[in-house]
Amino acid sequence: MAHVILGLLLIAPQSLYDLIKGFEAGVALFYSASSGSIKRALDTLLARELIDVDSVEAGGRGRKVYRVTDAGREEFRAWMTGDPAGSDLETAALSRLYFLGLLEPDERVPVLRRVTARIESDLAAFLRLDSNLDAVDFPEERRDLVTHQRATLDYGIASHRFMLDWFRDHIDRHEPPDS
């Protein structure tokens, strides 16, 4: 979540309320967060000096507006240009896609290629599992259960194939002609 918040703050300095609205308006398409988790992430980013308080608006509560520090810009760029990690590939991929316009044009396709490589790797693992399951003889009393578990794996394979095709197409549409 910290990198998503850094991305939102790179778009514009924002208050906690603005960030919550930013999550609701777009980020929630791929990442859900409560106001409490956003506040905790802000506190962590402040402690790590990746953001600071840009201003405190006058008024009853003294609304704090946060902005990204130079260290925060470096952290965000390293995350964007690094290999997608974590167990939730879809969130990792879509987070980077959502903020891709914050990178320089020549940095964008390499990010998409790293995402594509991760999708290929995860898909290969699913296909190996699928192949290995063909050789397993499940007890009759578990066949109904296994049928639906196998359907879950089939969904994961289909989902990864779609994601892979979609990202490859996106690369083709955005790759510079001389590449």
Tell me, what's the pLDDT at 22?
86
Tell me, what's the pLDDT at 167?
96
Find tokens 């891709």 and name the residue. Answer: 100
Tell me, what's the pLDDT at 163?
96
Structure tokens at 102: 């914050």
For residue range 8-22, list pLDDT tens digits in order: 999 999 999 999 988
Say yes or no to pLDDT of 158 above 60: yes
Tell me, what's the pLDDT at 60?
55
pTM (2 d.p.): 0.85
Long-range contacts formed by 49-58: CB under 8 A, 24+ apart: 50/2, 50/6, 50/75, 51/5, 51/6, 51/9, 54/13, 55/13, 57/15
For residue range 22-63, list pLDDT tens digits in order: 888 888 888 888 889 999 999 999 999 999 997 776 665 678
Domain boundaries, the chain: 2-81, 96-174
Say yes or no to pLDDT of 124 above 70: yes
Give the integer Cα–Cα distance in Å for 179 and 170.
14
Domain 2-81 has CATH 1.10.10.10: yes
Say yes or no to pLDDT of 142 above 90: no
Burial 11-46 (b: 16+ CB within 10 A, else e): eebbbeebbbebbeeebeebbebeeeebeebbeebe
For residue range 64-97, list pLDDT tens digits in order: 899 999 999 999 999 999 999 888 899 999 999 9
